[in-house]
């Protein structure tokens, strides 16, 4: 089989590094890694030139503005990266017949529901970050290149800075932590998500083509938890001695409003691609073992 090239934007982030970790398991793929220094996705002509000079089967857009609270004061920058960037990629991918895989978020939902959100749920973001990501989805869907938008939630990994690594550090340094207990979602291990994306791209029967345009999928690990539940699991798995106290959101005010419930319904993704999605706590155990191994 001919080697298929895949451009990865935001390759130095959690998901980008997780994709690269798995490349040995997908010998039919070759990655072209880019970050902001190699490709400014907010510049349409630069995007066109890069994709034109690097013909690829697909582009996985992991690049995003993800500073949820800072976005409340940097709205223009958040929209530049999260809306204009995907808009530019969609144009260039459609022109070159490159499959576009764009990563989005549970923050596009209001968080006022009580059942896992199906992919066709109306988006009602309540933060600048959520609105900017919803705008990016909309921009791609209007251009409608071959590919898909995949929403995920509560992403963590052994790379970069994330909730798991922060709680491990705090749990080691402190005797007691207060953690929000009334926001419910699904912790998602970036390595599992990366594996799912590459399996979706290599599925023998499911094709991404211009006839089908841009599809919409959800991916997260299975199960759900509050941030309090998540932290309890982190501390237990790591064997740390730290008391975790549950608190309501109102006791820990932040600039950006978070969804109170943002569990994603992944049935469509599982059914169409035959994916087996791990339970969140088992994946958390795997990740913490990797983090500990990397620090020894």
Residues identified as active-site: 129
Q: Are 58 and 201 contacting, i.e. CB atoms less than 8 angstroms apart?
A: yes
SS3 (DSSP) at 48:
helix
SS3 (DSSP) at 103:
strand
What pairing do the DSSP bridges indicate for beta strands 58-61 and 4-9?
A: parallel
Q: If 0-12 CB within 10 Å is exposed, 13-18 middle and 19+ buried, where does residue 250 land?
A: exposed
Nearest to 80 by CA among 31, 122, 36, 136: 136
Reported in sequence order, the residue ranges of 2-65 that DSSP labels E, i.e. its strands, are 4-9, 29-33, 58-61
What pairing do the DSSP bridges indicate for beta strands 4-9 and 188-189?
A: unpaired
Q: Are 130 and 108 contacting, i.e. CB atoms less than 8 angstroms apart?
A: yes
Q: Which two tokens stand for residue 125?
A: 């973001």
d(C-alpha 234, C-alpha 173), whole Å: 14
CA 120 to chain centre: 18
């Amino acid at each position: 089989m001919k080697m298929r090239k895949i451009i990865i934007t935001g390759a130095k982030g959690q998901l980008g590094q997780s994709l690269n970790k798995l490349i040995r398991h997908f010998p039919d793929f070759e990655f072209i890694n880019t970050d902001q220094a190699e490709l400014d996705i907010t510049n349409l002509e630069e995007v066109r030139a890069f994709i034109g000079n690097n013909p690829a089967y697909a582009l996985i857009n992991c690049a995003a503005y993800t500073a949820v609270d800072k976005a409340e004061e940097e709205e223009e920058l958040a929209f530049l990266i999260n809306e204009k960037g995907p808009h530019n990629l969609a144009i260039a991918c459609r022109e070159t017949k490159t499959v576009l895989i764009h990563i989005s978020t549970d923050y596009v939902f209001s968080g006022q529901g009580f059942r896992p959100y199906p992919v066709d749920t109306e988006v009602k973001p309540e933060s600048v970050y959520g609105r900017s990501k919803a705008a990016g989805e909309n921009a791609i869907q209007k251009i409608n290149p071959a590919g898909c938008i995949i929403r995920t939630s509560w992403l963590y990994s052994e790379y970069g800075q994330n909730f798991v690594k922060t709680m491990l550090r705090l749990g080691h340094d402190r005797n007691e932590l207060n953690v929000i207990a009334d926001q419910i979602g699904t912790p998602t291990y970036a390595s599992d998500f990366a594996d799912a994306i590459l399996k979706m791209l290599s599925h023998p029967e499911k094709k991404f083509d211009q006839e089908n345009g841009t599809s919409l999928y959800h991916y997260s690990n299975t199960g759900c938890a509050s941030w309090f539940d998540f932290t309890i699991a982190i501390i237990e798995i790591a064997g740390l001695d730290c008391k975790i106290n549950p608190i309501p959101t109102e006791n820990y005010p932040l600039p950006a409003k978070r969804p109170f419930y943002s569990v994603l319904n992944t049935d469509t993704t599982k059914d169409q691609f035959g994916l087996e999605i791990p339970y969140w706590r088992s994946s958390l155990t795997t990740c913490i073992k990797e983090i500990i191994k990397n620090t020894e």
